[in-house]
Amino acid sequence: MRKYKIIKFSSRITRTIPYHLMLLPGIILLIIYSVIPLLGNIIAFQDFQPILGFFKSEWVGLDNFKYMFQLPDTFLIFRNTLVIAVGKIVFNIILSVFFAVLLSEAYSTAFKKTVQTICFLPHFLSWVILATIFKDLLDGTGLINTILINLNVIEKPIVFLGSNHLFQSIMVGTDVWKEFGYSAIIFIAALAGINPELYEAAEMDGASRLKKIWHVTFPSIRVTIVLVVTLNIANILNAGFDQVFNMYNPVVYRSGDVIDTYVYRMSFQNAQYSFATAVGLLKSVISFILIITSYKLADKFANYRIF
């Protein structure tokens, strides 16, 4: 019996060799660019000196982490990261759901496709391009200030990207504008799967259009909404390096500096490699815990699992 199982296992391996060979290039790239770089986290426990390398730099244990928690900047960057990231997640989901529902209520198929395509396109634009556009729009002599001054709403130009009070809101708003069309795809797909008989039954009961949305549409996609919310928990510490890096400046470091931009500045501008690695490693550990938590919650509330 055991011999038969071994032969069966060997036969299965032989049949799947071509598939494993197809996976091999991807696995090699994953090891080179994702697994091997993990060894660099040892820098977080050293007083790393590039000239000495990994093996000769002084080992300091948890000193970099202790130093990190003593700095007021640490609380500031984690707070900024949470505020911006949570704002993006919440408003992105809300706007995506309402956009999908409103789009599903439109009668014209051509109108639906046109609007969806227009709202879908910004997702594919780089923040390098969009940051330049938004900087021009929000500049002191930009279109927004010009309109507001001409309408006598304000007397002096507002320095949007130089205000610590406005910067976080701008980060959230511009990101939601860019991503809500793409994020709505999953909700549009969920809406397409709703049984039309439910709407017919609600109409026979005298339900208005708004009541059909409230009592049929929203309950039908509730599981999808819960799933998206729980999976987004893993992104709580991802405030968007590309966006913030391309739009912030030293004036708004107090409100705009997030974990990723702080690590970048500490590493490549201040050459504090060990400290920056310690901050990045702490973020990675917390993010890993959040990922596990989000998938556990998704399994519990939406019956969603990968394995």
Cα–Cα–Cα angle for 271, 75, 297, rounded to 5 degrees? 110
User: Residue 242, Cα to own-chain centre: how many angstroms?
Assistant: 11
The CATH H-level superfamily of 63-302 is: MetI-like (1.10.3720.10)
122-159 pLDDT, tens digit per residue, is: 999 999 999 999 999 988 888 898 998 888 888 888 88
Per-residue pLDDT tens for 245-294? 999 888 889 888 898 889 888 888 888 888 888 888 888 888 888 888 88
pTM of the model: 0.84
Instruction: Domain ranges for the chain, please list them.
Output: 2-59, 63-302
Q: What is the mean pLDDT of the chain?
A: 86
Q: What angle do CA 58, 261, 277 make, to 5 degrees?
A: 20
The whole-number pLDDT of residue 58 equals: 87
Q: Are 301 and 293 in contact (CB under 8 A)?
A: no
Q: How far apart are CA 118 and CA 184, in angstroms?
A: 13
pLDDT digits (tens, 9 = 90+) for 68-127: 888 888 888 999 999 999 999 999 999 999 999 988 888 888 888 899 889 889 999 999
DSSP state of 236: T
pLDDT of the residue at 306 = 59
| pLDDT tens track for 197-243 | 888 888 888 888 888 888 888 888 888 888 888 888 878 888 888 99
- Assign 28 a pLDDT band (cuts: 50, 70, 90): very high
